[in-house]
Structure 1
Amino acid sequence: MRSATIERKTGETQILLSLNVDGTGIFSGSSGIGFFDHMLQLFSRHGSFDLAVSVDGDLAVDTHHTLEDLAIVLGDALTEALGNRAGIRRYGMFYCPMDEALTRVVIDLSGRPYLVCDVTVRAERIGDFENGNAVRFSLCVCRSRRHEPAYSQSLRQ
């Protein structure tokens, strides 16, 4: 089973994350940020990853530290769970039409982090989630232990 459990403690956050990339799409736990929990649940479900998070962050200050540290931990867990990457394809791509958007995610598990995100966001925030943090989160996952952007269906390929 390809899985990893990562713990991170900083002055702003305490995070415990468990990931099973050969899972069934079960998400449990909470980041303390409602809309972001919804996004983690979708990530888990559509990628068929089992993901459990326990987060204590300085949300009274803002969501930035919590999101950034969660991204680092998720990237580290993906890197550890994939191990030597034997038996997986280096490249993955997926298109997803949803609501009024068409998204495309392309990944390369080459070990050289890079992110391009061309998105126009209509709303500044959804609940407590500042939409601008989505790009920052993706970049932190990408750079974590030099792991590339790993998103649900494209990574599953």
Structure 2
Amino acid sequence: MRTATIQRNTAETAIAVTVNLDGTGTYDIATGVGFFDHMLEQLARHSLIDITLKCDGDLHIDQHHTVEDSALALGQAVAQALGDKRGIRRYADALSPMDETLTRVAVDISGRPWLVWKSAFSQPRLGEMDTELFQHWFHSFAQTAGLTLHVETLYGDNNHHIAESAFKGLARALREAVEIDPRKADAIPSTKGVL
């Protein structure tokens, strides 16, 4: 089983996260930010990656540290569970429709972190979550997971749908990219021989 557990404790947050890349999409998530929990639950369910994530953050200040540090810890757990990345498909993309919204997500588990973000929101908050934190979450997650990640909302009006289609698109792309390719199950998917 490709699993990992990360504990991240700072003066701003205390986080425990466990992932199982070969799971069924079960989740147990509690960050104290309701809309954020909803997005992480979508990520687990549609990627089939089991995720347990508990965060006790300094929400009396704002949500920034909770969202950022949760992304960093989750990305670390995914990277650790991937190990040397032997046998993975590596590349994947997904078109994620949600009513009037369509988002395209492409991922390369490259070990070269990069985020291209082409999504925007017309309101500053969704529930109690600051919408500016979505881009920051994707950036932080890509950094520690070692992903080249492109997220582009092709069109859409509803802010909830824009956020959710991005997380579901990432989930569907990750589901494929982390899968073991039966045609190359013992090979590192790179001409370099290492990722």
TM-score relative to the length of structure 2? 0.77
The share of aligned pairs that are identical, in percent, is 43
Match of 2:180 in 1: none
Runs of 4+ in 1 over 6 A off after TM superposition: none
- Quick check: 1:155 aligned with 2:180? no
SS in 2 for 1:115: strand
Do 2:25 and 2:48's aligned partners in 1 also have CA atoms closer than 8 Å?
Answer: yes
Residue-by-residue CA offset, 1:61-114 (whole Å, 9 max, x unaligned) = 000001110010011001011111111112110101112210111011111111
Distance across 2 between alignment mates of 1:63 and 1:105 = 25
More off after superposition, 99-108 vs 142-151: 142-151
Query: Bigger radius of gyration, 1 or 2?
Result: 2
Distance across 2 between alignment mates of 1:109 and 1:146 = 6
SS in 2 for 1:107: strand
Match of 1:67 in 2: 67
Matches within 5 A, 1:117-128: 117-128=117-128
Do 1:76 and 1:147's aligned partners in 2 also have CA atoms closer than 8 Å?
Answer: no
Distance across 1 between alignment mates of 2:2 and 2:148 = 17
SS in 2 for 1:7: strand
Distance across 2 between alignment mates of 1:67 and 1:147 = 18
Match of 1:16 in 2: 16
Do 1:34 and 1:127's aligned partners in 2 also have CA atoms closer than 8 Å?
Answer: yes
SS in 2 for 1:84: coil
Distance across 2 between alignment mates of 1:13 and 1:115 = 24
Gaps in structure 1 of 5+ consecutive residues: none
Do 2:31 and 2:53's aligned partners in 1 also have CA atoms closer than 8 Å?
Answer: yes
In angstroms, what is the RMSD of aligned CA positions? 1.4
TM-score relative to the length of structure 1? 0.95
| Residue identity matched to 1:153 | R
Match of 2:80 in 1: 80
Using the TM superposition, give the Cα deviation of residue 21 of structure 1 relative to its aligned residue in structure 2, in angstroms.
1.0
Residue-by-residue CA offset, 1:41-64 (whole Å, 9 max, x unaligned) = 000000011111111100010000
Using the TM superposition, give the Cα deviation of residue 120 of structure 1 relative to its aligned residue in structure 2, in angstroms.
2.2
* Aligned length, in residue pairs: 157
| Residue identity matched to 2:170 | Y
Residue-by-residue CA offset, 1:14-48 (whole Å, 9 max, x unaligned) = 00001111111111130100000000100000001
Gaps in structure 2 of 5+ consecutive residues: 150-168, 177-195
